[in-house]
Protein backbone atom coordinates (compact mmCIF):
# COMPACT_ATOMS: atom_id res chain seq x y z
CA UNK A 1 0.00 0.00 0.00
CA UNK A 2 1.12 3.54 -0.79
CA UNK A 3 0.29 6.10 1.88
CA UNK A 4 -0.30 9.83 1.34
CA UNK A 5 -0.80 12.66 3.77
CA UNK A 6 -1.30 16.39 3.73
CA UNK A 7 -2.47 19.05 6.15
CA UNK A 8 -5.88 18.62 4.56
CA UNK A 9 -7.30 17.62 1.18
CA UNK A 10 -4.83 19.29 -1.18
CA UNK A 11 -2.72 16.14 -1.42
CA UNK A 12 -5.61 14.50 -3.23
CA UNK A 13 -4.31 16.26 -6.36
CA UNK A 14 -1.11 14.22 -5.99
CA UNK A 15 -2.92 10.99 -5.19
CA UNK A 16 -5.10 11.47 -8.29
CA UNK A 17 -1.97 11.66 -10.44
CA UNK A 18 -0.57 8.51 -8.81
CA UNK A 19 -3.89 6.68 -9.14
CA UNK A 20 -3.99 7.46 -12.86
CA UNK A 21 -0.45 6.14 -13.29
CA UNK A 22 -0.74 3.14 -10.93
CA UNK A 23 -4.44 2.25 -10.96
CA UNK A 24 -3.96 -1.23 -9.46
CA UNK A 25 -1.93 -0.15 -6.42
CA UNK A 26 -3.71 0.23 -3.10
CA UNK A 27 -3.67 3.79 -1.79
CA UNK A 28 -4.37 5.25 1.65
CA UNK A 29 -4.89 8.98 2.21
CA UNK A 30 -4.62 10.74 5.57
CA UNK A 31 -5.90 14.31 5.85
CA UNK A 32 -4.51 16.04 8.95
CA UNK A 33 -7.58 18.27 9.01
CA UNK A 34 -7.48 18.89 12.74
CA UNK A 35 -4.23 20.80 12.23
CA UNK A 36 -4.96 22.39 8.84
CA UNK A 37 -3.50 24.65 7.54
CA UNK A 38 0.20 23.98 8.14
CA UNK A 39 1.36 27.25 6.58
CA UNK A 40 1.05 29.48 9.69
CA UNK A 41 2.45 26.82 12.05
CA UNK A 42 6.05 26.66 13.27
CA UNK A 43 8.56 24.36 11.60
CA UNK A 44 8.75 22.31 14.80
CA UNK A 45 5.00 21.75 14.93
CA UNK A 46 4.78 20.82 11.25
CA UNK A 47 7.65 18.39 11.76
CA UNK A 48 5.84 16.78 14.70
CA UNK A 49 2.68 16.40 12.65
CA UNK A 50 4.62 14.98 9.71
CA UNK A 51 6.12 12.27 11.89
CA UNK A 52 2.80 11.45 13.55
CA UNK A 53 1.01 11.12 10.20
CA UNK A 54 3.76 9.10 8.56
CA UNK A 55 3.98 6.67 11.49
CA UNK A 56 0.20 6.29 11.43
CA UNK A 57 0.25 5.34 7.74
CA UNK A 58 3.09 2.87 8.24
CA UNK A 59 1.16 1.28 11.10
CA UNK A 60 -1.75 0.84 8.67
CA UNK A 61 0.51 -1.02 6.24
CA UNK A 62 2.05 1.66 4.02
CA UNK A 63 5.29 0.46 2.42
CA UNK A 64 5.90 3.84 0.77
CA UNK A 65 4.82 7.23 2.11
CA UNK A 66 4.18 10.29 -0.06
CA UNK A 67 4.39 13.62 1.76
CA UNK A 68 1.77 15.25 -0.47
CA UNK A 69 2.34 18.67 1.05
CA UNK A 70 4.99 21.25 0.17
CA UNK A 71 5.04 22.79 3.66
CA UNK A 72 5.52 19.42 5.38
CA UNK A 73 8.15 18.40 2.84
CA UNK A 74 10.05 21.63 3.47
CA UNK A 75 9.92 21.20 7.24
CA UNK A 76 10.34 17.47 7.70
CA UNK A 77 11.54 15.48 4.69
CA UNK A 78 15.06 14.84 6.00
CA UNK A 79 13.74 13.88 9.46
CA UNK A 80 11.18 11.51 7.98
CA UNK A 81 13.80 9.75 5.87
CA UNK A 82 16.04 9.38 8.91
CA UNK A 83 13.30 8.13 11.23
CA UNK A 84 11.19 5.81 9.07
CA UNK A 85 12.17 2.50 7.52
CA UNK A 86 10.03 2.91 4.39
CA UNK A 87 10.83 5.08 1.34
CA UNK A 88 9.61 8.68 1.53
CA UNK A 89 8.65 10.74 -1.53
CA UNK A 90 8.21 14.45 -0.96
CA UNK A 91 7.15 17.60 -2.79
CA UNK A 92 8.96 20.72 -3.87
CA UNK A 93 7.75 23.71 -5.89
CA UNK A 94 8.43 23.29 -9.61
CA UNK A 95 11.14 25.91 -9.92
CA UNK A 96 13.22 23.88 -12.37
CA UNK A 97 10.42 23.24 -14.91
CA UNK A 98 9.30 26.86 -14.50
CA UNK A 99 12.77 28.09 -15.44
CA UNK A 100 12.68 25.84 -18.49
CA UNK A 101 9.23 27.14 -19.42
CA UNK A 102 9.57 30.91 -19.04
CA UNK A 103 10.15 32.91 -22.18
CA UNK A 104 10.64 36.30 -20.52
CA UNK A 105 12.72 35.27 -17.50
CA UNK A 106 10.04 36.12 -14.93
CA UNK A 107 8.45 33.39 -12.80
CA UNK A 108 5.83 33.65 -10.08
CA UNK A 109 5.33 31.22 -7.21
CA UNK A 110 2.05 30.83 -5.32
CA UNK A 111 2.60 28.93 -2.07
CA UNK A 112 2.11 29.01 1.68
CA UNK A 113 4.33 31.14 3.88
CA UNK A 114 5.79 27.99 5.44
CA UNK A 115 6.97 26.71 2.07
CA UNK A 116 8.38 30.02 0.88
CA UNK A 117 10.33 30.68 4.08
CA UNK A 118 11.89 27.21 4.18
CA UNK A 119 15.53 26.41 3.44
CA UNK A 120 14.50 23.84 0.80
CA UNK A 121 12.79 26.52 -1.30
CA UNK A 122 15.75 28.89 -0.90
CA UNK A 123 18.10 26.18 -2.15
CA UNK A 124 15.87 25.53 -5.17
CA UNK A 125 15.91 29.19 -6.18
CA UNK A 126 19.66 29.48 -5.61
CA UNK A 127 20.34 26.34 -7.63
CA UNK A 128 18.10 26.88 -10.64
CA UNK A 129 17.03 30.51 -10.81
CA UNK A 130 20.21 32.56 -10.69
CA UNK A 131 19.45 34.16 -14.07
CA UNK A 132 15.66 34.38 -13.70
CA UNK A 133 13.49 36.73 -11.65
CA UNK A 134 11.39 34.75 -9.16
CA UNK A 135 8.56 36.58 -7.42
CA UNK A 136 6.89 34.75 -4.53
CA UNK A 137 3.41 35.31 -3.13
CA UNK A 138 2.36 33.74 0.21
CA UNK A 139 -1.33 32.98 -0.29
CA UNK A 140 -2.82 33.27 3.17
CA UNK A 141 -6.38 31.97 3.37
CA UNK A 142 -6.44 30.16 0.03
CA UNK A 143 -6.04 26.68 1.52
CA UNK A 144 -9.01 27.34 3.79
CA UNK A 145 -11.22 28.23 0.80
CA UNK A 146 -10.31 24.97 -0.92
CA UNK A 147 -10.81 22.98 2.28
CA UNK A 148 -14.31 24.46 2.40
CA UNK A 149 -14.93 23.21 -1.14
CA UNK A 150 -15.18 26.75 -2.53
CA UNK A 151 -13.27 26.43 -5.79
CA UNK A 152 -15.06 29.09 -7.80
CA UNK A 153 -17.06 31.33 -5.47
CA UNK A 154 -16.76 35.13 -5.28
CA UNK A 155 -14.63 35.04 -2.13
CA UNK A 156 -12.16 32.60 -3.67
CA UNK A 157 -12.06 34.57 -6.92
CA UNK A 158 -11.38 37.81 -5.07
CA UNK A 159 -8.64 36.25 -2.96
CA UNK A 160 -6.95 34.59 -5.92
CA UNK A 161 -7.13 37.76 -8.02
CA UNK A 162 -5.49 39.63 -5.14
CA UNK A 163 -2.54 37.22 -5.16
CA UNK A 164 -2.23 37.13 -8.94
CA UNK A 165 -2.18 40.92 -9.36
CA UNK A 166 1.47 41.54 -8.33
CA UNK A 167 2.63 38.68 -10.53
CA UNK A 168 0.77 39.98 -13.56
CA UNK A 169 2.00 43.52 -12.91
CA UNK A 170 5.55 42.17 -13.08
CA UNK A 171 4.82 40.43 -16.39
CA UNK A 172 5.43 36.85 -15.29
CA UNK A 173 4.62 34.26 -17.95
CA UNK A 174 4.97 31.17 -15.76
CA UNK A 175 3.32 30.52 -12.40
CA UNK A 176 4.29 27.69 -10.07
CA UNK A 177 1.48 26.15 -8.02
CA UNK A 178 3.60 25.62 -4.92
CA UNK A 179 0.89 24.03 -2.77
CA UNK A 180 -0.86 20.75 -3.53
CA UNK A 181 -4.22 22.42 -2.86
CA UNK A 182 -3.83 24.90 -5.71
CA UNK A 183 -4.22 22.55 -8.71
CA UNK A 184 -7.89 22.31 -7.74
CA UNK A 185 -8.12 26.01 -8.68
CA UNK A 186 -6.77 25.44 -12.19
CA UNK A 187 -10.14 26.10 -13.93
CA UNK A 188 -10.46 29.42 -12.07
CA UNK A 189 -6.83 30.30 -12.76
CA UNK A 190 -7.35 29.69 -16.47
CA UNK A 191 -10.26 32.14 -16.38
CA UNK A 192 -8.27 34.82 -14.58
CA UNK A 193 -5.01 34.52 -16.54
CA UNK A 194 -4.07 35.25 -20.12
CA UNK A 195 -3.72 32.17 -22.34
CA UNK A 196 0.05 32.66 -22.65
CA UNK A 197 0.65 32.18 -18.90
CA UNK A 198 1.89 28.66 -18.11
CA UNK A 199 0.87 26.91 -14.89
CA UNK A 200 3.33 24.48 -13.33
CA UNK A 201 1.89 21.63 -11.23
CA UNK A 202 4.42 19.11 -9.90
CA UNK A 203 1.84 16.41 -9.16
CA UNK A 204 2.45 14.42 -12.37
CA UNK A 205 6.24 14.52 -11.86
CA UNK A 206 5.82 13.30 -8.28
CA UNK A 207 3.60 10.48 -9.58
CA UNK A 208 6.40 9.41 -11.91
CA UNK A 209 8.82 9.37 -8.97
CA UNK A 210 6.35 7.33 -6.89
CA UNK A 211 6.13 4.81 -9.73
CA UNK A 212 9.94 4.54 -9.90
CA UNK A 213 10.28 4.10 -6.14
CA UNK A 214 7.43 1.58 -6.04
CA UNK A 215 9.14 -0.48 -8.73
CA UNK A 216 12.52 -0.33 -6.99
CA UNK A 217 10.93 -1.24 -3.67
CA UNK A 218 9.12 -4.19 -5.19
CA UNK A 219 5.58 -3.01 -4.45
CA UNK A 220 3.21 -5.18 -6.44
CA UNK A 221 -0.17 -4.16 -7.88
CA UNK A 222 -3.26 -5.42 -6.11
CA UNK A 223 -6.92 -4.44 -6.50
CA UNK A 224 -6.49 -0.68 -6.59
CA UNK A 225 -8.31 -0.12 -3.31
CA UNK A 226 -8.48 3.50 -2.08
CA UNK A 227 -8.97 4.22 1.62
CA UNK A 228 -9.03 7.50 3.50
CA UNK A 229 -8.95 8.94 6.99
CA UNK A 230 -8.91 12.33 8.68
CA UNK A 231 -7.76 13.62 12.04
CA UNK A 232 -10.79 15.90 11.93
CA UNK A 233 -14.49 15.09 11.83
CA UNK A 234 -15.14 12.54 9.03
CA UNK A 235 -18.74 13.71 8.58
CA UNK A 236 -17.58 17.29 7.97
CA UNK A 237 -14.67 16.35 5.71
CA UNK A 238 -16.42 13.71 3.59
CA UNK A 239 -18.49 16.01 1.30
CA UNK A 240 -15.50 18.11 0.20
CA UNK A 241 -13.35 14.98 -0.06
CA UNK A 242 -15.90 13.46 -2.45
CA UNK A 243 -16.09 16.71 -4.42
CA UNK A 244 -12.32 16.91 -4.91
CA UNK A 245 -11.68 13.20 -5.41
CA UNK A 246 -14.70 12.70 -7.66
CA UNK A 247 -16.00 9.69 -5.75
CA UNK A 248 -17.61 9.09 -2.37
CA UNK A 249 -15.32 7.22 0.02
CA UNK A 250 -15.87 6.18 3.61
CA UNK A 251 -13.58 8.20 5.89
CA UNK A 252 -12.40 6.87 9.22
CA UNK A 253 -11.14 8.99 12.09
CA UNK A 254 -7.39 8.90 12.65
CA UNK A 255 -6.21 9.45 16.20
CA UNK A 256 -2.63 10.56 15.71
CATH of the domain at 188: 3.40.50.1860
Range of the domain at 51: 2-91+204-253
Task: Per-residue pLDDT tens, the chain, 256 aa: give them.
Answer: 999 999 999 999 999 999 999 999 999 999 999 999 998 899 999 999 999 999 999 999 999 999 999 999 999 999 999 999 999 999 988 999 999 999 999 999 999 988 898 888 888 888 888 789 999 999 999 999 999 999 999 999 999 999 999 999 999 999 999 999 999 999 999 999 999 999 999 999 999 999 999 999 999 999 999 999 999 999 999 999 999 999 999 999 999 9
Give the distance from CA 51 to its chain's centroid: 17
- Catalytic-residue membership of 179: yes
From 36, 53, 179, 256, the catalytic residue: 179
What's the number of domains the chain is made of?
A: 2
- With the CA atoms of 138, 195, 104 and 70 taken in that order, what torsion angle do they form, in degrees rounded to the nearest 10? 30
pTM, rounded to two decimals? 0.93
Judging by beta carbons within 10 Å of its beta carbon (0-12, 13-18, 19+), is residue 229 exposed, middle or buried? buried
Question: What is the C-alpha separation between 118 and 241, in angstroms, rounded?
Answer: 28
Q: What angle do CA 59, 252, 13 make, to 5 degrees?
A: 85
39 and 113 share one domain: no
Question: Domain ends where: 164, 180, 201?
Answer: 201
214 and 238 share one domain: yes
Question: What is the C-alpha separation between 31 and 86, in angstroms, rounded?
Answer: 20
50 and 172 share one domain: no
- Catalytic-residue membership of 227: no
From 36, 53, 69, 139, the catalytic residue: 69
Cβ atoms of 240 and 9 closer than 8 Å? yes
77 and 13 share one domain: yes
Amino acid sequence: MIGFYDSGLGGLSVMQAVHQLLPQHNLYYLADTAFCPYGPRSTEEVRERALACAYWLVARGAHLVVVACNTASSAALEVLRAELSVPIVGMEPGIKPAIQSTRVGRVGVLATGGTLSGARFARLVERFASEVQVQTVPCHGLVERIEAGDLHGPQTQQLLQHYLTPLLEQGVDTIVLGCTHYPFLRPLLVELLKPDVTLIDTGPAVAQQVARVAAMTGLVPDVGRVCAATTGDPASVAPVFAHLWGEVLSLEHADC
